[in-house]
């Protein structure tokens, strides 16, 4: 059985990456190719176009819904 690796980095891994960049020995990031690159490029364009079409009221409604989803069920 193979072990899946977590793509997220913890604090120490991020700190090490920053250190390596500061001393100029950071590994270059992999360039996206093929379908992944096309998908990312299209997503960036569509997201910006959608945001431009939203009215301030729509943006506010979306933000409120997100805040309630994130913070609504906390007990203080």
Spell out the domain ranges in the chain: 39-71
What's residue 75's pLDDT?
Answer: 59
Least confident range from 14-18, 52-56, 59-63, 71-75: namely 71-75
Alpha helices of the chain — where are they, by DSSP H? 11-22, 34-53, 56-71
**Tell me: the pLDDT tens digits for 24-63?**
887 777 777 888 888 888 888 888 888 899 999 999 999 9
What's residue 43's pLDDT?
Answer: 82
Dihedral angle over CA of 16, 22, 27, 32, nearest 10: 100
* Residues near 51 by beta carbon (within 8 Å), at least 6 away in sequence: 59
What's residue 4's pLDDT?
Answer: 61
């Amino acid at each position: 059985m193979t072990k899946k690796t977590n793509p997220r980095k913890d604090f120490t891994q991020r700190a090490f990456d920053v250190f390596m960049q500061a001393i100029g020995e950071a590994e270059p990031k992999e360039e996206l190719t093929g379908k992944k690159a096309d998908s990312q490029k299209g997503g960036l364009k569509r997201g910006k176009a959608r945001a431009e079409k939203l009215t301030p009221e729509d943006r506010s409604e979306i933000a409120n819904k997100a805040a309630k989803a994130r913070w609504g069920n906390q007990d203080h």
